[in-house]
Structure 1
């Protein structure tokens, strides 16, 4: 194996796996999901041609090779952490950082105005760039540095990324105030009987939001019809307000546009998974003072925009 196949993240994973002797606890320690850690362990086993952790009657036990690697990697990580700690602390008042944030239009609409106000007040020299996420490449973008932070509703975190929850919202259904049949309450028959506005990423593929709806319908043995496809959820309220279409959106967006477009905000007639928005970043930026400051500002803003 060549050292160029390793990065700091993999070194930390080896240390966590050996220290915890348990894949799930190692994942929690690293701030990633259990499937992501399992995939990393499989990769490490291939890289080192060693099982690293083996199952016994007493649980998972590190191999001699794994213990040797963990000891040496911890020494190397201590040097890395010290080098990072030696960097001057981030001073918002004089900073001129440029942060690239990948987030959907909906999240940009919810969070960016307050974030910009916060940043302008504390760090007037800092510039923020918002761009739509490319979920197929987002891990590479974070690793390469072309994106500094991803803010998104993703059920399964991309492997190798740190993440923390920002806000959780229930899903709500919007309908026009003058809807021909839906008034105040929504039945299942009405929900599948009237066509829906469908949020299609890039105008074609479905989003995680729509997957939540379709999976709930499938569990209930129901199927909906699609009346319109849009590339942004911000378009949905206007379409609903002037037709008999329905749309299912995160509550904060639904309630905001209810006042603008004269909409009803209704409980879904079946159980829908909450929208849990998180921010994701690469391990290489985890200890960076400037990046840590940015994450803290997002957490502050999210507490005012919804339930963190």
Structure 2
């Protein structure tokens, strides 16, 4: 394919065609007539040597090649838009931005409902994609544009990133109300001797909080027993409520589930650091109007939770 015959307009048309899977709707999206979009599709088919859209009994369907190209050019078009609008005021009511947020599970539970409700009310065309952060690759995710913002508890944040604190909370231990050995207080011997429900990342690694707990115990020459490795910290309360397991989780999550499940919320019998949830972003996004707006939205939804 001769790339010299491609321009930004053609790529936007391709993206519209793949997204809408309908020539007329793609034309309306681009503000042109249906015949003009049909002619553009014919030109794109020649340039890519691929049908791009094929007719089926259920309507038009993008070919694998069309989907692959559309996925790759989306980020490029966002970078172009960013370069052209840098410094211009961000109008959330009219914006069609796509934000990629790497957020920890507790952030997803505590902040994302309010954030997305806020965005839907004031920026209905803004799209948000949320995925768990890859802790060893936080800086790389931000540098390479895989994430616009990382919102998480990072004990050792990578150097060279911008950041601001959103909220902090203590860690609590939860146990079943009818636990056979624990009644309202928790000793260190009980904590170490009882099996724990652990939030596991992958087959072997633990979350930042689980690592914090194990390192604190290790400094005292202790190791806790693990009774279950769970793929989600939000599954811990239900598991704990129906068993003799303990779990160490952020206080606000613990107290939320204690209102619904038969749980005791206990102070940890060892000195654990508070959980500080912060936003992290790359320097290149510092002055981007859309990014500044997104960070402000996070601050506002976190404000009611910001006090310890």
Say whether the fold is shared (TM-score over 0.5): yes
SS at 2:300's partner residue?
helix
Superposed CA deviations along residues 266-288 of structure 1, whole A, max 9, x for unmatched, are 00111111111111100000100
SS at 1:260's partner residue?
coil
- Counterparts of 1:304 and 1:180, CA distance in 2: 37
Is it true that 1:257 corresponds to 2:257 in the alignment? yes
- Counterparts of 1:237 and 1:211, CA distance in 2: 19
- Counterparts of 1:164 and 1:203, CA distance in 2: 32
Alpha-carbon contact 1:203-1:231 (below 8 Å) kept: no
Q: Which residue of 2 aligns with 1:99?
A: 99
The Cα of 1:218 is off from its aligned counterpart by 2.2
Superposed CA deviations along residues 205-246 of structure 1, whole A, max 9, x for unmatched, are 122101211122123332210000112101111110000100
Structure 2: gaps (5+ residues): 1-82
Alpha-carbon contact 1:203-1:230 (below 8 Å) kept: no
Q: Which residue of 2 aligns with 1:63?
A: none
SS at 2:151's partner residue?
strand
SS at 1:270's partner residue?
coil
Structure 1 stretch 223-232 or stretch 171-180: which is displaced more? 223-232
Alpha-carbon contact 2:161-2:283 (below 8 Å) kept: yes
The Cα of 1:122 is off from its aligned counterpart by 1.7
Alignment of structure 1 residues 29-108 onto 2, 5 Å: 87-108=87-108
- TM-score, L = length of structure 1: 0.70
- Counterparts of 1:120 and 1:276, CA distance in 2: 27
Q: Which residue of 1 aligns with 2:22?
A: none
Q: Which residue of 2 aligns with 1:297?
A: 297
Superposed CA deviations along residues 241-268 of structure 1, whole A, max 9, x for unmatched, are 0001000001011111111221110001
Q: Which residue of 2 aligns with 1:192?
A: 192
Is it true that 1:110 corresponds to 2:110 in the alignment? yes
The Cα of 1:143 is off from its aligned counterpart by 1.1
Alignment of structure 1 residues 1-308 onto 2, 5 Å: 87-307=87-307
The total of aligned residue pairs comes to 226
Alpha-carbon contact 1:213-1:272 (below 8 Å) kept: yes
- Counterparts of 2:266 and 2:86, CA distance in 1: 53
SS at 1:173's partner residue?
strand
Superposed CA deviations along residues 107-132 of structure 1, whole A, max 9, x for unmatched, are 10111000011111221111111111
Superposed CA deviations along residues 35-58 of structure 1, whole A, max 9, x for unmatched, are xxxxxxxxxxxxxxxxxxxxxxxx
Alpha-carbon contact 2:87-2:287 (below 8 Å) kept: no
- Counterparts of 1:219 and 1:117, CA distance in 2: 43
Structure 1: gaps (5+ residues): 1-82
The Cα of 1:142 is off from its aligned counterpart by 0.9
- Counterparts of 1:255 and 1:289, CA distance in 2: 37
Root-mean-square deviation (Å)? 1.7
- Counterparts of 1:86 and 1:182, CA distance in 2: 58
- TM-score, L = length of structure 2: 0.70
- Counterparts of 1:203 and 1:293, CA distance in 2: 38
Superposed CA deviations along residues 62-107 of structure 1, whole A, max 9, x for unmatched, are xxxxxxxxxxxxxxxxxxxxx9996311111111111010012221
